[in-house]
Structure 1
Amino acid sequence: MSTNIFNQAVEILARNDQGHYTVPTHGLYPFQWNWDSALSSLGQYYVDESRAWTEIETLFAHQWDDGMVPHIIFHKDDDGYYPGPEVWQTNRPVPTTGITQPPVAGFAVRRLLERAKDTEMARRRAAALLPKIAAWHDWFYKARDPENTGLVAILHPWESGRDNSVDWDAAFERVPTEGVGEFQRRDLNHTNPAHRPTQEQYKRYIWLVQLFRGLNWDYTKLHDASPFQVVDPGFNAILLRSSQDLAAMAESLGETELAAKERTRSDKGLRALNDLWSEKRQQYLCYDRVIGDVIDSPSIGGLLPVFAHIDKEHSTAIARHIDELGKRVKYLVPSHHPDDENYDGARYWRGPAWLIVNYMISDGLKREGHHDTAARIISDSVKLIETGGFAEYFDPMTGEPCGGLHFTWTAAMVIEFLKLTGEVA
């Protein structure tokens, strides 16, 4: 069974491969997405090591001059997705969006480097990517941490990767919809509307895009102008882990000054992250900069910090929290607590389980010695594939496949899980 699943995953990677980048899935997502590419490269490594590096290199080939790496690159025309380049109007040689996504690339590149079979090739390509990843990290702290707190804010829910999370509901109410006008979503042509963000959420998504576009995508203006400024602990944990991994790579490649800078930055961020810990929830919480208060919402964003090197007390509490969740759902890890009134097991990030987050959480748990919890997450992830195929996400109660099908990063994570557990040689 494992070999058959592995082969199916490899076929999906090939199916979605555009030569120098992959699409998440045909139809629903016909372009290159930022953190999709970084995580998908980990699965690609087992198929074609050089091709895995190309995936990330293509992403950084479209990095902006200020260091920002956009969340979508529109490599070719396709009117099957909204909002397309004509809405973003970023005036790039190859059109991109003007916002970013979770910066997991530093982690992915280190993993590719450490696994390299062709060591000389990997060191050369890692060395070329190093300053680009560092520039992206620099951009975050310049553009999204103006008061030098050690933590960065997202200015649009799409940046979090968790587009319609319950975490954003209250803050999103501040985002108006006036002036957005009529538009036709394309996502609903490809998947069940009950699995997707609502029309009212989409209007607010587009309002923010129009606001930022009106400011000419000037990062020095966007933070303070946005009515949506949220410090997401999960997003920050990914950035901090990538800083830690970038520091380790820099050290190994002789870039000691960069290594010291990234370590100092990650240490400061981890100290600041502690302020978002909730004893009541036994997890981290988001922080709304506009109102200056935490957001009491029990989502997976507050469990994801175990991916970074958080303190032992908190990682142990998160492991216990996930063990308790495992008694409430059939498949770990739900993206929102199933006991919360806002939980929805089929609607995108309001409840469903996602293999990419399962992968990052299990990685952190294993590092901290919580092997049984990590093993349950990995086992549940593989079972979801056995029952529901390579879907975008899954209902954690029933295992129902939701969202897009034949999904690249789902396939890549399955390859990772099967290889890491030794189920496939």
Structure 2
Amino acid sequence: MTKHFDEAYRILAANDRGGYTVPTDRLYPFQWNWDSAFVAMGFATFDIDRAYRELERLTEGQWADGMIPHIVFHQPSDTYFPGPDVWRTSHTIPTSGITQPPVFGIALRAVHEAAEKAGTEDAKARTLALFQAGLKWHRWWYKARDPEGTGLVALLHPWESGSDNSPAWDIALARVPTTTDTAVVRKDTGHVDAAMRPRDEDYRRFIHLVDTYAACGWVPAEQWGKAPFKVAEIQTTGILLKAGEDLEHLANSLGLEAEALELANYNDLTRKALLAQWRPAFSRFVSRDLISGEDIEAPTQAGFIPLLSLDVDADIVDAAVAEMKLWSNGMKVGFPTTKPFVGSFEPKRYWRGPSWAIINWLLIDGLARNGMNDMAAALRSNTVGAIEAEGFAEYFDPITGEGCGGLGFSWTAAAYLCLAGQ
């Protein structure tokens, strides 16, 4: 046991708010959706009960239609904007009105398998309840965010991607007005250097979208019709497919034949759709702007995330890996979230270049799935080394290796526990 494991445990304990974990103190004072899924997998390495609890607390915020929101406001805080008063949702617990990548199903399988290995008595019952929540959420994705049955799910807000201000959104987001009825009172730049955060203009567009959907009463069909931002997104779809595979596996192990078949049908549809987004000219997958009908060609990490859930031909794997190596060349910390030295690359600004441990975690699993074990091992070693050198930062400057953004970050601690423990 090294001092780094002890520090990871300490961070998760410090960010515990009573069965759920905040990403970091003050900057993100609530429960975030995909953060908690990664955190649950971290907890599963040493505290299975607490891992289940993390997911159970997240599902307290699930909506009647199945959506699990991107933020659950379990208790008030004045250190974050936008808070519940801006979202204007109407649920038992205050929540945001949008969602986030569905890592939940991936986490549930990991927690369940850890519980089975440990012989945990109530594992089956707890897994079953969470499985039903996860299945309900997957049904929501396919109904609300793929109403035409394409197999690719769409985002109506950049925040739903988790990669909030990625260059992938620049063209689509530029069409969104900067006008807003809501006073934009940013809190993030009081906690973190503004040079590392989204720009004010981006924030006004983000809030314009919130105003638009709040005016729709957060009814999915109305939002779909009025959305000024609508992107069929490969990172989210790739994660949805992996989570769908894991939920299908759980359904089979729990003897839920009808549910397993339903998930298998979703997965087959999405697998074909995702494969069709491969672009040989770029050696990566691409998202599609559903308003313009055009491919999104911005070079970001999302282009490689589908490897997480696809078993692709050798020529695709070889091309993707060659491109990934090109991006990593000369970088102190992989994997950059924007191709280095293109015009949109900013190595310290949130999602426009920095390396993230959780993105690396997904890429490592995708590489290993497709037989690229050496590259997976190298990226794992590089990620663990960056954390040991710089601490549990939100993300890292890929050129210098500097830890940036929020510090004492929960999902970085979880990633370390899972990656360094392998």
Same-fold call, TM cutoff 0.5: yes
Instruction: Report the AA paired with residue 130 of structure 1.
Output: F
Q: Which of 362, 367, 372 pairs up with 1:365?
A: 367
Establish whether residue 250 from structure 1 lines up as the match of residue 233 from structure 2.
no
Q: CA deviation at 1:181?
A: 5.1
1:263-286 alpha-carbon deviations (Å, 9 max, x no partner): 121111111112211111100111
For 2:77, what is the secondary structure of its paired residue?
Answer: coil
Amino acid at match of 1:21: Y
Equivalent position to 1:322, from 303, 321, 324: 324
Q: CA deviation at 1:128?
A: 1.1
What is the match of residue 62 of structure 1? 61
Equivalent residue for 1:112? 111
Note the 1:1-16 alignment, pairs <5 A.
3-16=2-15
Question: Is the aligned partner of 1:386 residue 2:388?
Answer: yes
- Letter of the aligned partner of 1:11 in structure 2? R
Tell me if structure 2 keeps the 8 A contact 1:343–1:351. yes
Over 6 Å off, 4+ runs: none
Query: 25-34 or 111-120, which moves further after superposition?
Result: 111-120
Counterpart AA for 2:376: A
After TM superposition, list the pairs within 5 Å mapping 1:273-422 onto structure 2.
Answer: 273-313=274-314, 314-420=316-422
Q: What is aligned with 1:51? A: 50
1:42 is the counterpart of 2:9: no
1:121 aligns with 2:122: yes
Instruction: Find the counterpart in structure 2 of residue 173 from structure 1.
Output: 174
Paired with 1:28 and 1:312, the residues of 2 have a C-alpha distance of 42
Q: Which amino acid aligns with 2:7?
A: Q
Describe the SS at the equivalent of 1:287. Answer: strand
Alpha-carbon separation, structure 1, partners of 2:262 and 2:293 = 29
Equivalents in 1 of 2:151, 2:182: separation in Å?
A: 38
1:423 matched residue in structure 2: none
Count of residue pairs the alignment pairs up: 419
TM-score (structure 1 length as normaliser): 0.96
Deviation at 1:61, TM superposition (A): 1.8
Displacement of 1:124: 1.6
Give me the whole-angstrom Cα distance separating, in 1, the residues matched to 2:268 and 2:113.
23
**Separation in 1, partners of 2:318, 2:265:** 25
- CA distance in 2 between counterparts of 1:298 and 1:111 reads 31
Q: Given residue 191 of structure 2, which amino acid in structure 1 is its aligned partner?
A: H
Residue identity over aligned pairs, in percent, reads 44
Tell me how far apart the structure 2 counterparts of residues 43 and 144 of structure 1 sit (CA, whole Å): 29
Q: How far apart are residue 182 of structure 1 and its match?
A: 3.5
Deviations, residues 214-265 of structure 1 (Å, cap 9, x unaligned): 0100011111210100011111000000001100000000001111111121
Aligned mates of 1:311, 1:398 — CA distance in 2? 33
Q: Give 5+ residue unaligned stretches, structure 1.
A: 421-425
CA distance in 1, matches of 2:248, 2:159: 27
Contact 2:184–2:207 (CA<8 Å) still a contact in 1?
A: no
Residue 160 (structure 1) aligns with = 161
Amino acid at match of 1:355: A
1:22-101, aligned counterparts within 5 Å?
Answer: 22-101=21-100
Letter matched to residue 317 of structure 2: S
Paired with 2:174 and 2:217, the residues of 1 have a C-alpha distance of 24
Shift of 1:147: 1.0
Aligned-partner Cα distance in 2 for 1:6–1:119: 23
Structure 2, unaligned stretches of length 5 or more?
none
TM-score (ref. length: structure 2): 0.97
User: Is the 1:9–1:411 Cα contact (8 Å) retained in structure 2?
Assistant: yes
- Could you tell me which residue of structure 2 aligns to residue 223 of structure 1? 224
CA distance in 2, matches of 1:350, 1:118: 43
Matches of 1:242 and 1:386, distance apart in 2: 29
Contact 2:336–2:355 (CA<8 Å) still a contact in 1?
Answer: yes
What is the CA–CA distance in structure 2 between the aligned matches of 1:121 and 1:368, rounded to whole Å? 34
